[in-house]
Amino acid sequence: MYNSYGVSVGKKRNDLRNYIGEKFKLSLNAKTQVFKWMGIALRSFRCKLANKYILSNTNNLSSLKKPPLEYEGIRKEDWKSFLDLGVTEREIDRSEAWLLAHRRKDGTYTPEVQQVAERISELRSQVEQGTF
């Protein structure tokens, strides 16, 4: 997705931060709050798109090939990747979601989280073996 200036939105977080930093002079506290609001607005927009277009048309996937006309700024590639995330039938287990949320960018965990991750792994193996 691109904003009215043609700048990619949501792809490269640091580029977006740099762009906003060049255009607006804000204190650190104000910057933090602005980025929180931006994150909330982006999640809200994604939910709105998913509820209005994807979930209501899951039986008619051919109508989802192109982005909605209301949002002409959404490129086809971005729309396709959004659909790939939103149309999946696989339900994510609660423990898997927890692990994904606590994983660092490099795929490792903090020592505290590592202990919980190992316990989750043990419990999963017990469930698979039928001993839990």
Give residue 72's pLDDT. Answer: 84
pLDDT tens digits, one per residue of 112-132: 999 999 999 999 999 989 887
Residue 3 domain flag? no
The rounded mean pLDDT for the chain is 81
Residue 81 domain flag? yes
Q: Which two tokens stand for residue 99?
A: 């692990």
- With contact defined as beta carbons under 8 Å apart, do 67 and 74 qualify? yes
Q: Do 60 and 115 reside in the same domain of the chain?
A: no
Q: In the chain, count of helices (H) and strands (E)?
A: 5, 0
Q: Do 116 and 58 reside in the same domain of the chain?
A: no
Residue 2 domain flag? no
**Strand, helix or coil for residue 8:** strand
Residue 27 domain flag? yes
Q: How far is CA 67 from CA 5, 6, 39, in A?
A: 20, 17, 22
Residue 108: give the domain boundaries. Answer: 94-129
Q: What is the identity of the amino acid at 8?
A: S
pLDDT tens digits, one per residue of 11-70: 555 666 666 666 677 788 888 898 899 889 988 988 888 888 887 777 777 788 888 888
Total structural domains within the chain: 2
